[in-house]
């Protein structure tokens, strides 16, 4: 069994639009177990740790700074989800990073439409509602940025407490 944890951030635009509950319920419906959740306004240092130097190397420092500014622009909800191959499941549910190309049925495809071109023209970070870790290793790193170990809860859903006896 490939049990994984992943970090999900519901960004300020998700909270501004009042759709955090809808987004969280989509993860619950597929059986993702919430093992950590909190609402906060990110400190700039925390946002900088999250949007690491690798982002600047891939997309440029200006883009990294816009993403940091976007993340600290209002409250966010940070979640840690656990489940079988949860990193891949969450990424599939979230959809493409650029909202205008995200497939219908994904979170970004159903709730966003902004393009990279628009964000670049306005010199803003891309408002795409949500962040999901890209790999199990990234998930572990990002969870440690946003959560202390004692903030994560170990629990078994009630349906896993029952086993069938073999005859």
Active site residues: 131
Residue whose entry in the numeric block shows the structure tokens 């883009």: 63
- Which residue, among 106, 116, 16, 112, has the nearest Cα to 67 in the 3D structure? 116
Residue 16 neighbours by CB distance under 10 Å: 14
Phi then psi for residue 40, to 5 deg, are: -160, 170
Q: How far is residue 77's CA from residue 9's CA, in Å, rounded to a whole number?
A: 6
The b-or-e profile of 81-100 (16+ CB within 10 A means b, else e) is bbbeebbbbbbebbbebbbe
Rounded CA gap, 89 and 77, in Å? Answer: 19
Question: How far is Cα 45 from Cα 60, in angstroms, rounded to an integer?
Answer: 19
Strand order, beta sheet including 33-41: 33-41, 75-84, 3-10, 130-132
């Amino acid at each position: 069994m490939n049990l994984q944890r992943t970090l999900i951030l519901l960004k300020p635009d998700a909270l501004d639009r009042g759709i955090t509950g809808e987004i969280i319920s989509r993860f619950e419906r597929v059986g993702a177990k919430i093992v950590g959740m909190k609402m906060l306004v990110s400190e700039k240092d925390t946002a900088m740790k999250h949007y690491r130097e690798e982002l600047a190397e891939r997309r440029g420092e200006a883009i990294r700074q816009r993403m940091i500014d976007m993340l600290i622009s209002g409250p966010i909800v940070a979640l840690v989800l656990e489940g079988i191959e949860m990193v891949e499941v969450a990424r599939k549910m979230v959809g493409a990073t650029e909202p205008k190309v995200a497939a219908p049925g994904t979170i970004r495809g159903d709730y966003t439409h902004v393009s990279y071109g628009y964000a670049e023209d306005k010199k803003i970070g891309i408002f795409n509602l949500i962040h999901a870790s890209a790999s199990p290793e990234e998930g572990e790193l990002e969870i440690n940025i946003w959560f202390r170990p004692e903030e994560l809860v170990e629990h078994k859903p009630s349906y896993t407490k029952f086993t069938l006896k073999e005859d």
